[in-house]
Amino acid sequence: MNEQEILAYLERDKTIRIDMIEAIRRKTARVLYAEPDAVLLTEAERFCLVVSDTVEAGRRALKTVPESICLFVAHNEASRDAVFETFPTINHAAACWQAYYPGKEPIPVPPVCEIRPFPKEELPFLLSVYDPDGDPKRYRERIEQGDVLAAYRDGALAGFIGFHGDGSGGMLEVLPQFRRLGIGSALEIALHNLALSRGWTPYGQIYTTNNASRKLQESLGMVVSDNELYWMYEERD
């Protein structure tokens, strides 16, 4: 299958597969397997994204996975079950809805805070709040690339948001004293606008246990999937 055929296959269920579509369009993924009944991509050789019409098709696709990869995003139950059957050490599947913004024009950002690029000198703060065990180098690179935004209220750093390594929106954090002021929504809109300015489709994922986040995404005009994808990995005791 060529790229146009792969995209046509993924577009059959655009909402749940938008991350795979964007990975191909943004040239961040490598196609490992593409047949009329299954597609498998790898993002920077760190994890694989897979969708298949049947479990058997998924198993065929997963035979091409490099030995170093042990993290998967399965985009339906068939591909989820194929991962479980192919990789016995994978024992956890975190279910998520997928959401994307279908518009093309920037969205007005509510004037509840000032939003600007996240300052490099605040990296220790970001790590302490969001990911204490995270790799500082990885986050520093993201900040330097302009992938993280900061919100200020009355001159104080109130929160932040950014793109994950795969290009999805996330990392949203609003400090407790600044919550219920609309800052989270303003940050989300600003990140959507940043994605649009780069020619990207804004998208992100929501744990299926987080109905409040789903309602927020829908209120911002995001299309949210009815079905689920699964982040799959080995969970150790």
E-state strands within the chain = 29-35, 38-43, 47-52, 72-74, 92-100, 114-117, 148-153, 156-163, 169-174, 203-207, 223-224, 229-233
Closest CA to 39 of 93, 76, 81, 86: 76
pLDDT in tens, the chain (237 residues): 999 999 999 999 999 999 999 999 999 999 999 999 999 999 977 899 999 999 999 999 999 999 889 999 999 999 999 999 999 999 999 999 999 999 999 999 999 999 999 999 999 999 999 999 889 999 999 999 999 999 999 999 999 999 998 889 999 999 999 999 999 999 999 999 999 999 999 999 999 999 989 998 999 999 999 999 999 999 876
- Give the pLDDT of residue 208: 96
3-class secondary-structure state, position 86: helix
In the chain, what are the domains?
Answer: 3-100+229-233 (3.40.630), 114-200 (3.40.630.30)
Q: DSSP for 3-20?
A: HHHHHHHHGGGHHHHHHH
d(CA 39, CA 187) in angstroms, rounded, equals 33
What is the gyration radius of the CA atoms in the chain, in angstroms? 18
- Give the pLDDT of residue 161: 97
d(CA 204, CA 170) in angstroms, rounded, equals 7
β-strands 203-207, 92-100: how paired? antiparallel
d(CA 231, CA 237) in angstroms, rounded, equals 18
From residue 161, how far is each of 50, 185, 188 by CA, in Å? 27, 10, 7
- Give the pLDDT of residue 237: 67
pTM for this structure?
Answer: 0.91
Q: Which two tokens stand for residue 202?
A: 């804004």
